[in-house]
Amino acid sequence: MKEAGRLDEDLLHEVAALHPASLESGGADELAGLLAGAAHAPVGVIYLVREDTLRLYGGHGLADDWGLAEAPLKGNLAAIVAESGVPLVIDDLSADERVPPGRTGAYLGHPMRDGNGNVLAVCCAADHQPRQWSAQEQSSVAAAALVGALLITEQLSRYEIDRQRRFLDAVLDSLHDGVTACDEQGRIVFVNERMRRIWADIGAAGEDLGLHSALRGEHLQDSDVVLPGHNRRARHYLVDAHPIIGPGGQTVGAVQAVQDVTRRKRVERFRTCELAVTTALADAPSIEAAGPRVLEAVVGTLEWVHAELWLVDKAAGVVRSVARWSAPGWQSDIEVPVDLAFGVGLAGRAWQVGKPLWIRDVGRPQSLISPETAASGALHSALAVPVREGFETLGVLTVFADTVEDPEDELLALMSGIAAHIGQFVERHLVDDLQRQLVRSKNEYLALVGHELRTPLTSISAYTELLREADEVSLIKDGPRLIEVIERNAHQLRDIINELMELSALDTGHADVQLTPMDLAEVVRDSVAKARTAVAGAPLVIEDDLPEQLVLPGDRKRLRQVIDNLLGNAVKYSPDGGHIGITLKTSGRAAELAVSDTGLGVSVDEREKLFTGFYRTSRARDSAIPGTGLGMTLSRAVVTRHHGSIELVDHEGKGTTVLVRLPLDAR
């Protein structure tokens, strides 16, 4: 009995020494072997009860008769133990009616119960020969069943806990919020996948967005936190953080949930930007006035550093800068050109291709930015969006960042929408200007009927009446002078009518303008020679700076008319002599003809008025210089039909400079 008692104690010690983890990889077979050894039996088996089946959990010395992988919970010895919940001792299987015929040997089974008393497994020892199971052997198996049940229960509990943890981890990893938990010492004990991504973007600063505050007992709800991301762009987060309270009311840890709302904030800024742009355009009298406010809204929304607005000058073949804006505190020594030729630079290239251009880093060799800008290192990413109305490109909107940025569909959509607003604004103002010009033209024609035509008609009528009433002596004496006055007024009347008809034909497109290759330098040279002959002997110097040849598509007769008119005006408005200069050169994709004089000059506020019918400057009227006031209007009509432009530009000192731009290629 002493030996049996020692064996029982050894068994309990060995069984209790089994670690639960060992049952996951062969440990159950080891437990079955210990049971078999305690009962001095060649076979030891452990079955788990699962719903309506028995599943083999561990076995020792198994043969064909014992240790089926799975058996029904009916019609076998282990099932009897599981259903009855009491030990089953059979010394001779062949003599027991519960055993199928043909089976021999002995069987000792014992239930294994969980903490609630439910049978969770059956352990048994078996022998191939009939035998009598001693009380000590039965006691050893019962003790082993008790300890084994504890081990299995713990293993099942750990499995269930692990399963629940896996479910919880899967749920937390699927959240859009980043979740972090720490213990009472502030040590991180849990991080989900979303939080790891946030850490990758903002670094270690993301570890404590609210945990330490929660450990101190604070509760954070929708706390707004802004941190710089990996590309220095601000990232916006909403943080919830709360302490974890233990059973005794003490703080045992803290948890924080972090939601990245950068995208939402950006969408809100985009809407604000569109509203600011719309407001700026609605309140502005011109694109030059609206431009800075539009660019300020764009730069502030994108959190970039610089923006520019360019408008197309078709006649000059360039895009011209009309507005620029830089973020407060950002300065650059880069010299940005006022004009960019077609296809040159970022704005010129966007004009050429007619679609948005995104440059991730302007410092790369293939950049469209000028080498000076790229070498400065002040700018990195750049975006250019054409300003269009219909199929026509009216300008280009460009923005720049001091960081490397990847293309974003949302940003391209925003910029395209803003460019569309600008295009509609520019086109609308062009239409408004045209309407104003039409109204002004109508009024001018009415004024013509009331004054310009009536004046010569009145003179003709009055002098005709004098001829009719003159006697023979007066007719012989004063007749030639009266007829000369009538003839002069008739010529003036005819000239006015001819110019009006020609102007109307040009405005309506009925005038014949043939654009064929012609040498503009030759036409200018001939006109200058004619002007020099006309002023020979007068105190007036005419100088020219002309190329040997400058070929462009144009109507030779019409352009000669414009050049003669400009030179004629220069001579006419220099009554006291002076200097007249004519220059012709190419600039970009346009030819530039400048005619300057040192005559009476034109005030700044009267420059544009010169191109409206019958307008004559106050200085010309005060000096009683004759003229109809239609010459500049006709000249603009001709130049416009050539897809060019004509304007009065700044002039040093006394006098006037008229600049004509004509495209070098056909439009």
β-bridge mates for residue 282, sequence order: none
pLDDT for the residue 371? 44
Q: How far is CA 279 from the centre of its chain?
A: 21
Residues 408 and 318 in one domain: yes
pLDDT band at 519, cuts 50/70/90? Answer: very high
Q: Give this prediction's pTM.
A: 0.50
Residue 622 — pLDDT band, cuts 50, 70, 90? very low
More confident residue, 201 or 91: 91
Check whether residue 153 and residue 190 sit in a common domain: no
pLDDT digits (tens, 9 = 90+) for 359-380: 877 665 445 555 444 444 567 7
Q: Tell me the β-bridge partners of 542.
A: 580
Q: Is the residue at 631 inside a domain?
A: yes
Check if the beta carbon of residue 642 is closer than 8 Å to that of residue 559: yes
User: In this model, does residue 533 exceed pLDDT 70?
Assistant: yes
Same domain, 546 and 635: yes
Task: Report the pLDDT averaged over residues 580-597.
Answer: 90
pLDDT tens sequence across 64-117 = 666 677 778 787 888 899 889 999 999 999 998 888 888 889 999 999 988 888
Check whether residue 32 and residue 105 sit in a common domain: yes
- The pair of structure tokens assigned to 174 is 């699927």
Assess contact for 595 and 570: CB atoms under 8 A: yes
170 part of a folded domain: no
Q: Tell me the CA end-to-end span of the chain in Å, nearest whole number.
A: 119
For the chain, give the longest Cα–Cα distance.
Answer: 180
Pair 615, 632 in one domain: yes
Q: Does 521 map to a domain?
A: yes
281 and 342 together in one domain: yes
Q: Please give the pLDDT value at position 525.
A: 93
Calpha distance 347→573 (Å, rounded): 41
Mean residue pLDDT of the chain comes to 79
Q: What is the domain extent for residue 199?
A: 177-260
- Among residues 320, 344, 395, 642, the alpha carbon closest in space to that of 511 is found at 642
pLDDT for residue 452 = 59
Most confident of 65-74, 158-167, 598-607, 612-621: 158-167
The stretch 462-491 carries a mean pLDDT of 78
Q: Residue 613: what pLDDT?
A: 54
Please report whether residue 446 resides in a domain: no
Looking at the structure, do residues 607 and 530 belong to the same domain, yes or no?
Answer: yes
Average of per-residue pLDDT across 440-459: 62
- Domain for residue 92, yes or no? yes
Label residue 475 by pLDDT band (50, 70, 90).
Answer: confident
- 645 & 534 share domain: yes
Q: How many CB atoms lie within 10 A of CB 570?
A: 26
Going by pLDDT thresholds of 50, 70 and 90, the confidence category of residue 20 is very low
For residue 21, pLDDT beyond 50: no
Class of residue 354 by CB neighbours under 10 A (exposed 0-12, middle 13-18, buried 19+): exposed
CB atoms inside a 10 Å sphere around CB 111: 24
- Which one, of 91, 92, 108, lies nearest residue 142 by Cα? 108
- Dihedral angle, C-alpha 279, 285, 288, 293, nearest 10 °: -20
In a domain, 167, yes or no: no
Is the pLDDT reported for residue 649 higher than 70?
yes
CATH of the domain at 201: 3.30.450.20
Location of structure tokens 């400057």:
617
| pLDDT band of 339, cuts 50, 70, 90 | confident
> By percentage, how much of the chain surpasses pLDDT 70?
79
- The CATH number of residue 627's host domain is 3.30.565.10
Report the domain count for the chain: 5
DSSP E strands: which ranges in 4-104? 43-50, 53-60, 70-72, 88-90
CATH of the domain at 368: 3.30.450.40
Token couple for 510: 């009925």
The answer to whether position 476 is within a domain reads: yes
- One domain for residues 247 and 121: no
171-185, 327-341, 583-597, 647-661: which has the minimum mean pLDDT?
327-341
pLDDT at 132 over 90: yes
**Residue 119 falls in which region: left (phi positive, over 0), alpha (psi -120 to 50) or beta:** beta
Question: Does 361 map to a domain?
Answer: yes
pLDDT of 404-434, one tens digit each?
777 777 778 888 888 888 888 777 766 666 5
Shared domain for 46 and 123, answered yes or no, is yes
Tokens linked to 475:
């007719």
What's residue 131's pLDDT? 93
Using alpha carbons, list the distances in angstroms from residue 125 to 38, 88, 90, 138, 338.
9, 11, 11, 10, 100
Lowest mean pLDDT among 40-44, 437-441, 452-456: 437-441
How confident is the model at residue 111, as a pLDDT? 94
Asked if the model's pLDDT at residue 278 lies above 70, the reply is yes
Query: What does the pLDDT read at residue 619?
Result: 45
In a shared domain, residues 97 and 216? no
pLDDT interval class at 325 (50, 70, 90) = confident
Q: Which of 260, 283, 298 is the last residue of a domain?
A: 260
CA angle 302, 306, 311 (to 5 degrees): 105
Q: Answer yes or no: do 215 and 347 share one domain.
A: no
